[in-house]
Amino acid sequence: MSGDEEEMQNNDEKYPFQASMYRRLLLLRSIRSLHKQLEQQQARLQECYGTVINTKKEVLKHICSTSASPSS
């Protein structure tokens, strides 16, 4: 074990409540960060889905307009 690890373990033993609160704080920060990443990813996915739907509409509109026009 390195000196830092030993010191952290000693502090955990001396101050269990503070160590527990610190771990909770780290966990909450991690959860918030993951939540923010999830929201950003969801927004990107929604934007991509919207693009796909709009492209599909345009393609269908083009197909309908070309098939409706008389063929020579």
pLDDT in tens, 21-43: 999 999 999 999 999 999 999 99
The structure's pTM equals 0.59
Buried b (16+ CB within 10 A) or exposed e, 12-27: eeeeeeeeeeeeeeee
Domain count, the chain: 1
Domain that holds residue 48: 3-68
pLDDT digits (tens, 9 = 90+) for 53-63: 999 999 999 99
